[in-house]
Amino acid sequence: MLSKKGFDEWVKTYEQDVFDSDEAGEFPFAGYRDVLFTIYQTGLKRMPKRVLDVGIGTGVLAKQFYDAGAAVDGMDFSQKMLDVSKQRMPEARLEVQDMREGLPPAFQETSYDLIISTYALHHLHYQEKVHAIKTLQNQLANDGVLLIGDVAFETFDEHERVRRNQRGYWDEDEHYWVYETLQKDFPKSLFVPISFCAGVLIVRRK
């Protein structure tokens, strides 16, 4: 699992590395572009006026909502990642923040039509994820939606099968999503499988 410093150092080659991994169909980024596209399409249908991206990175996905006219807020613990996002989206409100410590005060005062997070929340343990989802749900407008795209599996059996097959690549310090577990805490959530190792979780406010 990468630290803040690790992400700062990765920034220069991050996008190319991820696109190459997706293109090659390799774990962990196989399906990355389809994950982003699914979130973009699903999110855009709601014509969101205000969007929050948690673990925004270089802003590849948030920029699409920005270009569609949404006001974008973003947080990340890597200043270097945020610097790239700022170049892409000069008007965005970007904050350096560790997501395990909650939202920055300005974001706590804002309600969002759409909250997105891609390939970031698997750095949290299960209970931290549950806490983060509840925190983000509370920031949603009444008909708002939280869309999480990440390394994710529908069942624990599937998680274990890929874990066995990807021994050289699987990072035991990361905590990939298992939907059948999450569904117990968020019974109204939905899961859209995207690739052998990726999926999109859909969580509404209530």
Ligand X SMILES: C[S@@+](CC[C@H](N)C(=O)[O-])C[C@H]1O[C@@H](n2cnc3c(N)ncnc32)[C@H](O)[C@@H]1O
Q: Any contact of residue 133 with ligand X (CB under 6 A)?
A: no
Question: Which residues sit opposite 206 in a β-bridge?
Answer: none
| Sole binder of ligand X in the list 50, 65, 107, 118 (CB under 6 A) | 118
Minimum distance, C-beta of residue 33 to ligand X, in the bound complex (Å)? 10
Which H/E stretch holds residue 204? Answer: strand 198-204
**Helical residues (DSSP H) of the chain, grouped into ranges:** 4-10, 14-23, 32-44, 62-67, 79-88, 105-108, 126-138, 156-165, 179-185
Residue closer to ligand X by CB (options 87, 155) is 87
Q: Any contact of residue 12 with ligand X (CB under 6 A)?
A: no
Q: Any contact of residue 100 with ligand X (CB under 6 A)?
A: yes
Distance CA(94)–CA(86), nearest Å, equals 7
Q: Which residue has the closest beta carbon to ligand X?
A: 57
Minimum distance, C-beta of residue 84 to ligand X, in the bound complex (Å)? 9
Distance CA(49)–CA(33), nearest Å, equals 23
Residue closer to ligand X by CB (options 91, 173) is 173
Residues 6+ apart with CB under 8 A from 183: 189, 191
Q: Any contact of residue 31 with ligand X (CB under 6 A)?
A: no
Coil/strand/helix, residue 80 = helix
Between residue 40 and residue 79, which ones bind ligand X under the rule CB under 6 A?
55-57, 60-61, 76-78
Between residue 143 and residue 162, which ones bind ligand X under the rule CB under 6 A?
none
What are the backbone dihedrals phi and psi of residue 90, each rounded to the nearest 5 degrees, phi first? -60, -30
Q: Any contact of residue 30 with ligand X (CB under 6 A)?
A: no
Residue closer to ligand X by CB (options 57, 144) is 57
Q: Any contact of residue 85 with ligand X (CB under 6 A)?
A: no
Tokens standing for 198? 């990726």
Given the rule CB under 6 A, which residues bind ligand X? Answer: 7, 55-57, 60-61, 76-78, 81, 98-100, 118-120, 123
